[in-house]
């Protein structure tokens, strides 16, 4: 069923995240690139997604693998050049895919020309483009703020005789987004990519974009039973991030985006106040279109309670924003490994969780390889590249384990990713999950993903309908999706024992049956979608 003419393309969209380093290598250097992505876009379009999201491909020293940007308006040579990017956009649009890219507005690389000028003196045009502060009388940092990756959020710079702030790596200095000139420069970046045909942006860590100008210390975090692996975890992050003026900057972004009809913005928002901030950042018609947090990305277990509580944060009341959901991405361990249930095969769990993702109200984001059922790879310490893991080893699980190359051809060298040794090793089990093995197998997760996305695209209730009639009983999760005269009931067994559902299914017509589910019973990791539109 086509989307209604007055419904924006992104509302209820399925977005496929591509991590460029690990998707496809076209030039045999062991690192994925833009030309490799372009060559594989037919595969992506064949999934039935609406758009792609490209993780950073900009010039960067790669201290944080692209999230430390040295030039917002270019392409790093390891990925290609602007002509390669233009070819990618043209091919994607030719296949009916929208293109969204990552923008990092909280910080840059210390190799960015803006920072080189800013640190040169206290009296130049960009002197206040970053967050600088004098030392305390004893020479210590201006505040007690801690960085996400470990250690103080301040580094001394002898050239200016001041400290500069960084919420992440020392080589990722904090932009002073309070400064109107900085905002103007970032808006020019947005316009640059929109003019090249980009359809939207995922804005990284946007709640880190403004600090407290009064430089007040953060208070200590209350006692917790959780293991604290970083100094960052010992504080309430009140003053180093989440300033109340952030939404005003987002309104400037939205005003510019509105000059480009059909464009789209989604914010990444983590932290202790994520739900409140996501709602603030997407409220009304003057801010961002959508936001997603970490409800599922770092969850150790998938439970009915978790799903319901996350979904109920987003009502369909007027003025409430539109959510996006991801079970996996480049920052979080593969969900099929995190959510393993004893006695349930990983392949069955992967099928059930895909059926759940595709039924959620909001936009859904699939991470490359999720459709193949890739699990988390145990990267040995000597091969770890992730700077966060290196700083906090072994208590922080390496993000590298979710960033390993995609397997395309099971019997090819490096499973068809590259002729050269890849930048990270492939998982031992991943060749058996290669695209060519699953491509025409009607029982594969890949084929099920295509089927699920087709059902979602054709269903007004799934694409943009409301949630109704939640069922949270033990390991049983259920909810109805309702919209435009259609009512679908979605039932899931998140446990290892069969569940009798016969009293939940009377009069319904099965639309989807996963892992042997039927209208009487949900086996372990079973999923069932029923059309019960007669109740509507």
Catalytic residues: 204, 268
Instruction: State the Cα torsion 531-509-457-21 to the nearest 10°.
Output: 110
| CA 487 – CA 145 distance, rounded (Å) | 50
Structure tokens at 313: 């944060």
Instruction: Give CA separation, 247 vs 178, 244, 267, in Å.
Output: 12, 7, 11
| CA 415 – CA 426 distance, rounded (Å) | 8
Instruction: Give CA separation, 168 vs 111, 118, 165, in Å.
Output: 15, 19, 9
Q: Give the CB-side neighbour count of residue 519, counting CA atoms within 13 A.
A: 12
DSSP, collapsed to helix, strand or coil, labels residue 337 as helix
Is residue 197 left, alpha or beta, with left meaning phi > 0 and alpha meaning psi from -120 to 50? left
H helices within 178-223, ranges in order?
Answer: 180-195
Cβ proximity of 55 and 17 under 8 Å:
yes
| CA 504 – CA 400 distance, rounded (Å) | 42
Nearest to 273 by CA among 237, 247, 227, 309: 237
Query: Residue 18: CB partners within 8 Å, gap ≥ 6?
Result: 37, 44, 52, 53, 54, 55, 368
**Buried/exposed 4-28: b ≥16 CB within 10 Å, e otherwise:** eeeebebbbbbbbbbbbbbbbbbee
| CA 176 – CA 436 distance, rounded (Å) | 48
Cβ proximity of 489 and 530 under 8 Å:
yes
Cβ proximity of 169 and 149 under 8 Å:
yes
Structure tokens at 175: 């932009």
């Amino acid at each position: 069923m086509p989307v209604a003419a007055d419904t924006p393309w992104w509302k209820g969209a399925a977005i496929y995240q591509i991590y460029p380093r690990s998707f496809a290598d076209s030039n045999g250097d062991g690192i994925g690139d833009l030309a490799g992505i372009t060559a594989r876009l037919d595969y992506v379009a064949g999934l039935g997604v609406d758009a792609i999201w490209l993780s950073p491909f900009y010039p960067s020293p790669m201290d944080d693998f692209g999230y430390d940007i040295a030039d917002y308006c270019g392409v790093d040579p390891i990925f290609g050049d602007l002509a390669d990017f233009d070819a990618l956009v043209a091919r994607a649009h030719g296949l009916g895919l929208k293109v969204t890219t990552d923008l990092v507005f909280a910080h840059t690389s210390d190799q960015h020309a803006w920072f080189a000028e800013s640190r040169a003196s206290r009296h130049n045009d960009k002197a206040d483009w970053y967050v600088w502060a004098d030392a305390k009388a004893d020479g210590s940092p201006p505040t007690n703020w801690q960085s996400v990756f470990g250690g103080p959020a301040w580094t001394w710079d002898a050239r200016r005789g001041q400290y500069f702030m960084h919420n992440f790596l020392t080589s990722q200095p904090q932009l002073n987004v309070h400064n109107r000139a900085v905002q103007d420069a970032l808006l020019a970046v947005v316009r640059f990519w929109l003019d090249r045909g980009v359809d939207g942006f995922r804005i990284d860590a946007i709640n880190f974009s403004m600090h407290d100008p009064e430089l007040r210390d953060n208070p200590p975090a209350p006692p917790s039973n959780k293991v604290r692996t970083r100094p960052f975890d010992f504080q309430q992050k009140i003053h180093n991030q989440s300033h109340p003026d952030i939404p005003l900057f987002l309104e400037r972004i939205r005003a510019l985006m509105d000059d480009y009809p059909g464009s789209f913005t989604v914010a990444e928002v983590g932290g202790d106040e994520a739900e409140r901030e996501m709602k603030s950042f997407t409220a009304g018609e003057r801010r961002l279109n959508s936001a997603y947090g970490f409800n599922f990305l770092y969850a150790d277990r998938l439970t009915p309670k978790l799903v319901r509580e996350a979904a109920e944060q987003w009502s369909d009341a007027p003025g409430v924003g539109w959510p996006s959901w991801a079970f996996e991405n480049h920052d979080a361990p593969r969900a099929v490994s995190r959510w393993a249930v004893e006695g349930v095969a990983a392949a069955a769990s992967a099928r059930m969780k895909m059926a759940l993702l595709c039924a959620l109200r909001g936009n859904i984001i699939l991470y490359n390889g999720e459709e193949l059922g890739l699990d988390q790879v145990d990267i040995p310490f000597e091969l770890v590249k992730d700077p966060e893991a290196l700083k906090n080893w072994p208590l922080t699980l390496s993000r590298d384990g979710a960033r390993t190359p995609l397997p395309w051809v099971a019997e090819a060298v490096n499973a068809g990713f590259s002729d050269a040794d890849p930048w990270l090793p492939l998982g031992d089990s991943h060749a058996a999950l290669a695209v060519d093995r699953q491509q025409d197998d009607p029982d594969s997760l890949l084929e099920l993903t295509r089927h699920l996305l087709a059902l979602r695209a054709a269903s007004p209730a799934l694409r943009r309908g409301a949630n109704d009639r939640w069922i949270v009983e033990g390991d049983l999760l259920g909810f109805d999706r309702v919209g435009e005269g259609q009512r679908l009931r979605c039932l899931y067994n998140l446990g290892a024992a069969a569940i009798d559902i016969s009293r939940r299914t009377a009069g319904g017509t099965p639309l989807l049956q996963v892992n042997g589910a039927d209208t009487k019973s949900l086996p372990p990791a079973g999923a069932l979608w029923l059309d019960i539109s007669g109740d509507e």
